[in-house]
Amino acid sequence: MQIQINTDKNIDGNSRLVNFYTSELEKELARFDDKITRIEVHFGDENSEKFGKNDKRCLIEVRMAKKDPLAVTDHADTIEKAFHGALKKVKKVMQSTFEKIREA
């Protein structure tokens, strides 16, 4: 599973941030590891330097072998909260996707 972390110009994409979110994704999506080929995470601050409620965005796109990509987005007041919200959503979508495949 290949993981790529992207940030906009308003969020510092330092190695500590990349390492932390990469390890969180590997841990939380380990059960889908054999099905996932690539994960892309996009962090953004939609209000730039201005203060705004729920202005941090996290988009997680998961590409799976022989399947259409899944993408979810979450907004929160910090990138950490936005990430965990998007991660929760992507886990739910993947779970239901694979349950439907098993039932078919």
Which fold is adopted by the domain 2-103? Double Stranded RNA Binding Domain (3.30.160)
Residues 6 or more apart whose CB falls under 8 angstroms from that of 11 comprise 17, 43, 44, 45, 79
Question: What number is the average pLDDT over the span 33-59?
Answer: 86
Question: What number is the average pLDDT over the span 35-45?
Answer: 94
Q: Which of 77, 11, 86, 80 lies closest to 44 in space, CA to CA?
A: 11
Question: What number is the average pLDDT over the span 64-79?
Answer: 92
Question: What number is the average pLDDT over the span 70-87?
Answer: 95
Better pLDDT: 54 or 90: 90
Question: What number is the average pLDDT over the span 41-70?
Answer: 86
| Residue ranges per structural domain of the chain | 2-103
pLDDT beyond 90 at 69: yes
Dist. CA 29–CA 64, nearest whole Å: 12
Question: What number is the average pLDDT over the span 6-10?
Answer: 90
pTM of the model: 0.90
DSSP letters, 14-79, are -HHHHHHHHHHHHHHTGGGTTTEEEEEEEEEETTTTS--TT-EEEEEEEEETTS--EEEEEEESSH
